Amino acid sequence: MVIYQVDAFSDTPFFGNPTVIVLDAEDYTDILRQYIASEMNVPVTSFVTKSEKADYKVEFYTPKKRIPLGGHASIATFWLLAEIGRIKPENDFAKVTQETEKGIFTMEIFWKDGELDKVVMIQEKPIFKEIDITKDKLANILGIRSDKIETNEQLPITIASTGSPKLLVLITSKEMTDALVPKYDDIERLCLRLNVSGIHLYTFDTYFEGSTCYTRHFEPFRGAPETAVSGLANGALGAFLVARGFAQSSKMIIEQGESMDRAGIVEVEIKATKKGVKEVRVGGKAKTVFEIQFKEKV
């Protein structure tokens, strides 16, 4: 068995969000897949098989459980498939579909001058839901003062989903975003109560000029207390900002991972009309870091 580690949303090894990828996984049982995902201990391990409904079927596992969809893992998986030649370009472009437990998603792969350049995932149309939670209660869970939560009537604390529901919370600065030390057990209980997969913090105070936001993402019940760079969370955030008029209906750059020394860049492109958001596109680069050969057949 050969497995790969591909870091999504960065072109530098050991930056971005790591994904372990197992190809041709038809003969792998659910139990074996979970063993592999737990042993690899990265946020998501993806298993690729043939599909009767799409070009590929991809199933996603965290160290603790199977999940219906992985954002960064989708980017990493299709980067690898293109890199090893399973997906070939026509005029520096390819469009394929992936079957997931959540549904079928379109993936677009771009080359530049013959070199693999970017993978884009077209996510679900966004769903938003405001919730009733006080800043004091949320600040206690996040380990900061309530006045450091900048959420207001224009940008309320909101559940947003483009494939996986996230709780969006605006923080005053990147320094405060990086410095806070959350209570992970309380975050897990809150996520379960709200039926969300994670809490996504964002600030307009960024590290690099030209970026829209800097973010952190916590989802401890999935097995990783913090995720370095999230494709689904940042897609939901981008859609929310456009829907609220805080970003243009165009491409934005979102930074994440500085807090974990795994900085990454997510490109989010939102297509919208006066009637609302019509399409959410999330993409970026990736880097294959390891190709691992199992010594024994499992």
Same domain for 158 and 258?
A: yes
pLDDT confidence of residue 14: 97
Same domain for 167 and 261?
A: yes
| In a domain? residue 298 | no
The whole-angstrom separation of Cα 271 and Cα 135 is 32
Same domain for 100 and 140?
A: no
Same domain for 190 and 131?
A: yes
| In a domain? residue 58 | yes
Same domain for 98 and 168?
A: no
Is the separation of the CB atoms in 171 and 145 below 8 Å? Answer: no
Tokens of 121: 């995932």
Is the separation of the CB atoms in 58 and 28 below 8 Å? Answer: no
pLDDT confidence of residue 221: 79
Same domain for 147 and 118?
A: no
| In a domain? residue 37 | yes
pLDDT confidence of residue 151: 86
pLDDT confidence of residue 112: 96
User: Any idea which residue has 């379109």 for tokens?
Assistant: 106
Domain holding 226, by residue range, is 127-282
Q: What is the CA radius of gyration of the chain?
A: 18
C-alpha distance across the termini of the chain, in Å: 8
**Which pTM does this prediction carry?**
0.96
Same domain for 51 and 152?
A: no
Same domain for 152 and 266?
A: yes
pLDDT in tens, 104-152: 999 999 999 999 999 999 999 999 999 989 999 999 999 999 999 998 8
Tokens of 131: 């919730």
The whole-angstrom separation of Cα 50 and Cα 227 is 28
The whole-angstrom separation of Cα 268 and Cα 186 is 30
pLDDT confidence of residue 152: 86
User: Any idea which residue has 């006045």 for tokens?
Assistant: 147
Each of the 298 residues of the chain gets a pLDDT tens digit; together they read 789 999 999 999 999 999 999 999 999 999 999 999 999 999 999 999 999 999 999 999 999 999 999 999 999 999 999 999 999 999 999 999 999 999 999 999 999 999 999 999 999 999 999 998 999 999 999 999 999 999 888 999 999 999 999 999 999 999 999 999 999 999 999 999 999 999 999 999 999 999 999 999 999 877 779 999 999 999 999 999 999 998 777 799 999 999 999 999 999 999 998 889 999 999 999 999 999 988 766 6
Is the separation of the CB atoms in 107 and 121 below 8 Å? Answer: yes
Same domain for 98 and 149?
A: no
| In a domain? residue 68 | yes
Q: Judge residue 154's burial from the number of C-beta atoms within 10 Å of its C-beta, 0-12 exposed, 13-18 middle, 19 or more buried.
A: exposed
pLDDT confidence of residue 297: 66
| In a domain? residue 167 | yes
Tokens of 124: 């679900």
| In a domain? residue 52 | yes
Same domain for 289 and 175?
A: no
Domain harbouring 140, CATH code: 3.10.310.10
| In a domain? residue 214 | yes
Is the separation of the CB atoms in 93 and 113 below 8 Å? Answer: no
pLDDT confidence of residue 266: 98
Same domain for 154 and 119?
A: no
pLDDT in tens, 86-99: 999 999 999 999 99
User: Any idea which residue has 């959540």 for tokens?
Assistant: 102
Same domain for 249 and 133?
A: yes
| In a domain? residue 168 | yes
Structural domains in the chain (count): 2
